[in-house]
Every structure is written in C-alpha cells, then in structure tokens.
Amino acid sequence: MPPPPVRLVLGEEELLVERAVQDVVVQVREHEPDAELRRYRASELTPVDLADALSPSLFAEGRVVVVGSAQEAGKDLAAAILDQAADTADGIVLVVAHSGGARNKALADTLKARGAAVTRCDRLTRFEERADFVRAEVRRAGGKIAPDAVGVLIEAVGSELRELAAATSQLVADTGGVIDEKAVRRYHRGRAETTGFAVADKVVAGDRAGALESLRWAQLLGVPAVLVADALADAIRTLAKVGSAGRGDPNRLAGPLGMPPWKVRKAQGQVRSWRPEAVAAAVALTAQLNADVKGASPDPDYALERAVLLLCAARGR
C-alpha cells in the first residue's frame, strides 16, 4: 500500500521526528525508488514556494515534501498548507512536522480532522518511557537486554535519546546481541563512575571517601555542578518517598510512588541505614545546594563538596 498523501508528525522529540520522516521516505521509495526528498522550515517558506514544491513534475516522479517546525508558520502559509493538503498530486506526500504545543494548534487540529495520518513523537520524560525506548532499540538492533541492565544503561548514558540509541546499538554489536548489567558496566565504566548518580549512590551508602573521589572526577571531567546537585536531590527525595511509603512489594509501590520497581527496591535497601531525622536534614541540605549551584554560592564546586560531607555526616548520625 502506498503511504497516505498527508502525514502529520506531532511532538518535540527530535530523534523520533527524524525517524518518522525517514519512515515515510522509505515507504515512498518502495514504490518510487528515485523519489525526491525536499525539506523546508516553516519560518523560511512562502505559500508560493510550497505550491512549487508540491506541484507535479512533467514525468510524475515521486516526492516527499517535509515542512518542519509548522508551529512557526504565519497565517498565509498555514492556510496554504491546508489548501495544498486537501488536494495533493499523485505520488507526492506532504509531511507536516508540528511541535504539538499551543502555538498554531489550529493547523494541526485541522489536518487531523481532515484525515491526515498522525505520528506522535512526544518527549520521553518518565523513566519507564526511556526504558521502553531502550528495549525497543535493542529489539530493533536484533538483540536482547536483561531487565536490570536497562536502568544501569540509562544511569550511565543519560536520558538523551540519541546517545541512548547509539550506546544501545554499539552494545548489541559488541556483546553479540545479549546485554546484561556486567556488559553495560564494562563498556560504560568510565562514564558511569563520573556521573552525578555515582556521587549520589556513594553518599546514600555513606561512602564518604568514595563520594568525594567520584565528585572530584566528575569535576575534572566537566560534569556540570547543577547535574550533580540534581542527582543528589533525586536520591534523597527517593529515600524520603520510599521511606514514608513503608515496607511493601516494590512492584505495587512503583505506580503510586512514580518510579520503576527496581528503583523502589534499591531505595528500600538504602533507607534502612537512614533515620527519619537524617532524611529530613538531607532534604534541607539538597534544597540549599540547589540554590548554591544556581548562583547563591560564589563557588559551586566548594558548595558541592561541603554538601557531600554534610550529607554523609547526616547519614552517620
């Protein structure tokens, strides 16, 4: 089946938007191998240019016309897009990429109402969404990944989808297709040990020397102070939430707490070493650290070191 003549790509996740466009191109070229791809940014496109791009050629060659950042389209161009989408020539596919926000929402809504095929490319903000993305990337590359390796990979690489996709593809190639926690730590050891999460894990465990060592490495390698502070705050918030929820099945607590089961299970083991008063003190310390690294302190690196020492001391009390 040929692809729909109009495709609306909604969302701000750039990697997913690019893949959605590429999928359309692949579909078109299955029927028209020499089909041309033309890309335009709405803010740089005029109604005349759009009409020219969508006009049929003498020999009726296939063509994919992509209008990116359609939320930036002016009134005249938005009207032209709707007019052209209502009557596209045979063999020509119009792809309209819109951020999905409130700006120029009427354009996207009208295209949907008129039957345009829709591909959602929303930002993946929750951990489980990124975990699903990693699993899908592994399957896409023809591999398998152990459940506990997913969280380790995200902590080591970060939440940026391009980096996760590249790391996942490389791991599948390097491991022969089977990825476990040991493989992730082996191939991403240096990076995993210099993230803010590594500092936070050692603080929560009460490893004062290890936390300071990880912090120094992170600072030497240029990890922003704000990211380290955020990781510390996230770790302490997790302790507070899991501690207040009491004992229970991590799988059942995961939903109400808004975190994956593995993270609940890990925090349940950690929070046993923290008294409630220590957690409360740690929450206040991370709140102050957040202000310090965002301008309240003249020396963010010193503020981080001081906070690490105070947090480890709080745990020990």
pLDDT above 90: percentage of residues in the chain: 55
Q: Is 0.85 surpassed by the pTM of this model?
A: no
Residue 165: count of CB within 10 angstroms of its CB: 19
Q: Which residue has the tokens 């993230």?
A: 195
* Helix 225-245 / helix 261-271 crossing angle, nearest 10 deg: 80
For 258, phi and psi rounded to 5 degrees?
70, 40
Distance CA 313, CA 278 (A): 9
Residue 173: count of CB within 10 angstroms of its CB: 12
Using DSSP bridges, classify how beta strands 6-10 and 63-68 pair: parallel, antiparallel or unpaired.
Answer: unpaired
Instruction: Give me the numbers of helices (H) and strands (E) for the chain, helices first please.
Output: 16, 7
Residue 167: count of CB within 10 angstroms of its CB: 21
Q: What is the pLDDT of residues 211-255, one digit of tens each?
A: 998 888 888 777 788 888 988 998 999 999 888 887 788 888 887
Among 11-25, 70-84, 104-118, 199-213, the range scoring the smallest mean pLDDT is 199-213
Distances (CA, A) of 264 to 196, 252, 254, 285: 19, 10, 7, 22
Distance CA 74, CA 223 (A): 40
Distance CA 292, CA 304 (A): 8
* Helix 161-175 / helix 14-31 crossing angle, nearest 10 deg: 70
Residues 6+ apart with CB under 8 A from 172: 138, 141, 142, 143, 179
Q: What is the pLDDT of residues 262-286, one digit of tens each?
A: 788 888 888 888 999 999 999 999 9
